[in-house]
């Protein structure tokens, strides 16, 4: 079981074991949900959304410092 993760121009394939939500993934990657919008298969989703086999997840940073 795996999904695709896209951040900017970087795309990577990641494995899922067990239940995984967008929130878990953001926490794992040490990314702040306060500055990111998440998309699943092209649609904007909230943090509670679960990630399933074959999903394409994209994180878009919308808040930059400065």
- Binding residues for other proteins, rule: CB under 8 A, are 32, 34-35, 37, 43-46, 48-49, 60-66
**Phi, psi values for residue 28, rounded to 5°:** -55, -40
Which of 1/60 has CB closer to other proteins? 60
Query: What residues contact 21, with CB distance under 8 A and at least 6 apart?
Result: 47, 48, 49, 50, 51
Rounded least distance, CB 26 to other proteins, Å:
13
Rounded least distance, CB 40 to other proteins, Å:
10
Which of 15/63 has CB closer to other proteins? 63
- For residues 34 and 9, is the Cβ–Cβ distance under 8 A? no
């Amino acid at each position: 079981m795996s999904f695709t993760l896209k951040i900017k121009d970087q795309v990577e394939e990641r494995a899922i074991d067990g239940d995984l939500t967008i929130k878990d993934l953001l926490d794992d990657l040490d990314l702040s949900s306060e500055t990111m919008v998440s998309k699943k298969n092209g649609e904007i989703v909230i943090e509670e959304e679960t990630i399933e086999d074959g999903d394409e997840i994209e994180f878009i940073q919308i808040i930059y410092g400065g």
